[in-house]
Structure 1
Amino acid sequence: MKKTISIISIFILFTFNALASVGVIERYSGEAYVLRGNKKIDVVRALKLERKDIITTKKNAWVKIKLNDNTLITAGKNAKLVIDDYLYDGKRKAKASFSFSKGVFKTITGAVGKISPKKFKVHTPNATIGIRGTEFYVDASRPQEHIICTRGTITVTSSFGEVEVEAGRETFAQSKQKPQTPTKANQQNIFKIDLAIGIHHPTATHEERTLIEKSEGGLIKPLIQSIPVNTPNIEPVVSENTAEEETSTNIEESTSVEESSSVEDTIQEEVTTHETTDEIKDTAPVIPIHNPCPLPPSR
């Protein structure tokens, strides 16, 4: 009797774990949906995700997924992502497997990548990506897949061979070939993917934005145009490094404002010591206004 109860308990626990939520839709833009068995579910914020879910985005859409171990996956437009397998108990049992069938993606691994890095896999049509505590990009929108590592190290494997890609380097994978020898990553390629998945780079110059737009042949043009100009409450999807850079920029701007106020007070004191307006103009220093984040002109 006890043995029967134990078997039933294990079965119930297994079933519960299999059907339990593995993560949520943290943010999204545009039209996207989840295929779950025979059901088609429209993506909404905080929608719970399960194993075997298929997440699909349409034109000019993107979604950001947060899994239970804090792994973050952002998919751009016309993308298809499958949660093949996922397990995380908050301790030592951890594994994750995803298929990026098409589109562009950014992945920042969480606890699973630290606890069981060998059990974290991303499959593309032409290769399999293994990780070691990593942040990486995948562009599977073309027959020749583009894979960039921006933190940690990844391995890119096909049936014809394997390459190791360190941070700051990129490789290309295509059917029936070994992945290319990694080379130094091009920052403009990262900008392209970031813009395609809804990430706004405040440090990108107008020339860089124009070059990115032309090189992509219109893929991200609507997204560039949709980025508000001089909008302080924009909420870009950012990695931890980008957040630290923005915090540093805010501190510098705040310091600049304080210094500017101090200079203005000094000018006012000098104004009171002169008898004519001409003398004031001659002695007052010019305060340059520097914009650290040039934006494109209005279109």
Structure 2
Amino acid sequence: MIRLRYVVILLMAAWIAAVAFANTPTPAGVVDDLTGQADASTGQEPPRKLAKGSPVFAQDVVVTPSAKDKARLLFSDGSSLEIGPESKVALKEFAYDEADKSKSRQNIEMSKGVFRFVTGKVVAQNPENLKIASPLSVIGIRGTTTDHWIQTKQTLVLGKPSTEVLAELHALRESSSGKEVTVQTEEGLMVLKKPGDVAWVRPKLPGSVRPLTEGERESFGTFTIQRKNFDPAPPRRGLPGGGG
């Protein structure tokens, strides 16, 4: 009788482990590199500290708390997202299916701070399945490397902390396929046609497309972990983070 009970307990434990394994989500990617600290949280779960090699998942919100923190996420389709200091980004959706292109999708929402995004196979399969958004813009990307800066400040609204967006920069940095980048705001559509073009966006004001300044080039080169060939060296200053 005791042996039968022991067998039943083992079977129940195996079943519980199998159910837990089946319910474990597939990682969207991993932390490819890290300087300082980065935290990830899903829904109401407490934040978990990330390390190099840590998995990240769809629905994660990733934060770099201080001015010294940087992270680089590498997704399973080969795309990557570099996250600068004092930044916050939500990995809203991610799926990559090499056999069924209709199932592949990627949705990233940048809240504050600085970012560099390099597209991967999701875009190659179907560009419409990639969505990059910020508080003031929706960015259409087709096989490119882009830089983004969302400048914010913390304010109090009715006694409660609130984040105010001051301005955004969205820059086309590299495009091996010669593709354009679109930046859609409430005030209209801007098109970045060549590397070095940047969209300047402000709340409730018309945006504009102009070349990156030398200072902006240097600043975008400062926050990244992995330097690209278009980044000036050595950089002299850095963009501020999200500002709060």
Q: Same fold (TM over 0.5)?
A: yes
1:173 aligns with 2:201: yes
Q: Name 2:219's counterpart in structure 1.
A: 192
1:141-161 deviations in whole A, cap 9, x for unaligned? 241101110223211001221
DSSP 3-state at the match of 1:114: helix
Q: Name 1:79's counterpart in structure 2.
A: 87
Structure with the largest fraction of strand? 2
Q: Name 1:89's counterpart in structure 2.
A: 97
**Aligned equivalents of 1:32, 1:156: Cα separation in 2:** 28
- The letter of the residue matching 2:54 is L
State whether residues 113 and 134 of structure 1, in contact with CA within 8 Å, keep that contact through their aligned partners in structure 2.
Answer: no
1:155 aligns with 2:155: no
Q: Name 2:77's counterpart in structure 1.
A: 69
State whether residues 171 and 212 of structure 2, in contact with CA within 8 Å, keep that contact through their aligned partners in structure 1.
Answer: yes
State whether residues 52 and 84 of structure 1, in contact with CA within 8 Å, keep that contact through their aligned partners in structure 2.
Answer: yes
Q: Name 1:126's counterpart in structure 2.
A: 136
Q: Name 1:146's counterpart in structure 2.
A: 169
Q: Name 2:51's counterpart in structure 1.
A: 44
- The letter of the residue matching 2:144 is T
Per-residue deviation, 1:204: 4.1
State whether residues 158 and 177 of structure 1, in contact with CA within 8 Å, keep that contact through their aligned partners in structure 2.
Answer: no
Per-residue deviation, 1:106: 0.2
Provide the aligned length of Structure 1 versus Structure 2: 198
Determine which structure has greater relative contact order: mean sequence separation of CA pairs < 8 Å that are 6+ residues apart, divided by chain length: 2
- For residues 205 and 46 of structure 1, do their structure 2 counterparts lie closer, same or farther at Cα, with a shift above 3 Å needed? closer
Per-residue deviation, 1:116: 1.3
Q: Which has the greater radius of gyration?
A: 1
- Structure 2: segments with no counterpart, 5+ residues: 1-20, 153-165
**Aligned equivalents of 1:75, 1:191: Cα separation in 2:** 16
- TM-score with structure 2 length normalisation? 0.74
- For residues 19 and 114 of structure 1, do their structure 2 counterparts lie closer, same or farther at Cα, with a shift above 3 Å needed? same
**Aligned equivalents of 1:16, 1:159: Cα separation in 2:** 43
Structure with the largest fraction of helix? 1
**Aligned equivalents of 1:17, 1:70: Cα separation in 2:** 25
- TM-score with structure 1 length normalisation? 0.61
How many percent of aligned residue pairs carry the same amino acid? 18
**Aligned equivalents of 2:76, 2:198: Cα separation in 1:** 28
**Aligned equivalents of 1:107, 1:163: Cα separation in 2:** 19
Per-residue deviation, 1:46: 1.0
1:165-198 deviations in whole A, cap 9, x for unaligned? 1222111112223432x22223431221221223
After superposing on structure 2, the runs of 4+ consecutive aligned residues of structure 1 that deviate more than 6 Å are: 15-18
Q: Name 1:237's counterpart in structure 2.
A: none
- The letter of the residue matching 2:77 is D
- The letter of the residue matching 2:29 is G
Cα RMSD after superposing both structures: 2.4
1:26 aligns with 2:32: yes
Q: Name 1:282's counterpart in structure 2.
A: none
- For residues 104 and 135 of structure 1, do their structure 2 counterparts lie closer, same or farther at Cα, with a shift above 3 Å needed? same
